[in-house]
Structure 1
Amino acid sequence: MTQQTITPQGAGFSLDRLIAALPEVVDVALKEAVPEQYTPEKAARIATDMVPRLHALAAVHYPWCESGACIAHEDEGQMWVEHLGALHHAVLTDGLSDPVGLVAQIGFDPEATDFPTVHVWESRGNCSNLDGPALEAAIGRLEELVGTLRQLHGHLTAFQLGGAA
């Protein structure tokens, strides 16, 4: 699987050095920018909260990753990035009743699976995580549904034109 990096690659760039400098930089910046809100504890907390975000920005990403959507996680000192693609929406509505919305998004959480999956869910919250074979089967079922919808549309059109239903 091809990955791409968006890590700043300038001469001498080091994420570890940046993270090491962060507490002092945040401390000075907070003192100068909002001295009335400054406390050493608040500066330290902000610096600590920035570390996972920096890891997410510096992580190796996939071509399908949506800019800013990937999430950095930290658990017991271990850091990893959950990769997320763009959200793709399809809303079915008659304008009167509650719409049925379908959403699809590719994602990869290396702590949960060994490969990316496509998450498909409907607007009320039901979700399926589909791997390659399951996604292929879902596409086949959706193609069948589209074919059926075209037939039903033909019946509606014939009825509206006064023909046989």
Structure 2
Amino acid sequence: MFKLATRYSLAKLSPVETARLRLAPLGPGDAEAVRALTDDPAITGAIDFLPSPFTLQAARGLIGPAKVRTDCFLGARTHAGALVAIVGLHLRGDHAVELGYWVGGGARGQGYGAEAVTAAVGLLRQRFPHRFLVAECRPDNAASRGLLLKVGFRDTGDEGHRPGRTIFAYEPKAD
């Protein structure tokens, strides 16, 4: 019964290792690192559900266990332990998983975002092989748009659920 329950839940996701990162669900002990990474106008201004300033209380609310079945935030840490990015995973109905992310200021432009998103996509494809993977992006956000295209998403041209965003759908590369 537990396997069936977790099959349709984001609870109990296993950590993922990449060449430079370890992605794992964030927990209460990560709140200060999440606050420090996220309290950046470039991040809070781009993500509509993040308050500015991004406080420790907001960080605790973001990573709290209240919605872990349908929403989960993974911390992407270097092997030295520095939190460099956060990847959000959100079940959408019975057929889709939405992926979102942000990268800390000091880590931007170093490929950590693409590495973290690629690892999260692999995790989601394994856990939810029959669900569509989607992301939303503002058309004028060249960096985010480029990252999504680089890791295998395509711009559908459809309007997103959030104002001013378009939907990107993941298309696995043919083997």
Structure with the bigger percentage of strand? 2
**TM-score exceeds 0.5:** no
Q: TM-score, normalised by structure 1?
A: 0.31
